[in-house]
Amino acid sequence: MEQKRSIAIDGPSGAGKSTLAKRLAEQLGFRYVDTGAIYRTVGLAVQRHGLDPTDGAAVGALLQDIDVSISYDDTGLQRMALQGEDVTAAIRMNEISAYASKVSALPAVRDFLLDTQRDMARRHDVVMDGRDIGTVVLPDADVKIYLTAAAEARAKRRYLELIQRGQQADLDTILREVIDRDRRDMEREIAPLRQAEDAVLVDTTEMDLEQSFQAMLHLIQEKLGVK
């Protein structure tokens, strides 16, 4: 089988990873893999079962019983299913973000999802985004980008996104949640969020989406030697 190419994009929540990774994948003709959505699906399962997301034994036992699957629709968009039910929209609820962040600190959950992610990169050219793609999941990725922005800028983007979707939102609460989640994602013992040594840092605090997209595309094309 020919060698597949992989682009790893890591960074904190709200830096624009998924929007940018999706557009980059489209432009390059690669498959976009949103790994946060996979953790969110496990988080949703834990919430639905009324479990404590920090209880490793209970969550570990639940993993044996649940079916988490990924598929792609005609437009190349990733869809998540839990027990065969499409949960692509349900996993975006604000409450599920904290569940996802908490279950993602459990070794059993990370082990459970590792193969699924690597398998995707073995079979397809991918743009994969997450927290530990360049450091753990795909240490040999062709291009690694660490995408970040100031917490205030990320909270504001999230706030506007929720308002636009007609959901209730409070900027101060969201900023607190962003900071809490950053801390949890960066301070956990396994696969913490950090920039891989060979990753290029892209800070989008002062950049709009288009500028960020162009900067990343340029970088990727240069590294892959394509135009």
Contacting residues toward ligand DC, per CB under 6 A: 13, 35-36, 39-40, 97, 100-101, 104, 130-133, 181, 185
Q: Which is nearer to ligand DC, 107 or 218 (CB)?
A: 107
Neighbouring C-beta atoms of residue 148, cutoff 10 Å = 23
* Token pair for 180: 């809490």
**What is the closest distance, in whole angstroms, from the C-beta atom of residue 37 to ligand DC in the complex?**
6
Report whether 25 contacts 31 (CB < 8 A). Answer: yes
**What is the closest distance, in whole angstroms, from the C-beta atom of residue 39 to ligand DC in the complex?**
4
Alpha-helical (H) ranges within the chain are 17-28, 35-48, 56-65, 94-103, 107-123, 151-164, 171-187, 209-224
**What is the closest distance, in whole angstroms, from the C-beta atom of residue 1 to ligand DC in the complex?**
25
Q: Which is nearer to ligand DC, 20 or 218 (CB)?
A: 20
**What is the closest distance, in whole angstroms, from the C-beta atom of residue 103 to ligand DC in the complex?**
8
**What is the closest distance, in whole angstroms, from the C-beta atom of residue 42 to ligand DC in the complex?**
9
**Strand order, beta sheet including 78-82:** 68-72, 78-82, 85-86
Q: Which is nearer to ligand DC, 13 or 78 (CB)?
A: 13
87-103 b/e with 16+ CB inside 10 Å = b? bbebbbeeebbbbbbbb
Q: Which is nearer to ligand DC, 184 or 221 (CB)?
A: 184
Q: Which is nearer to ligand DC, 56 or 225 (CB)?
A: 56
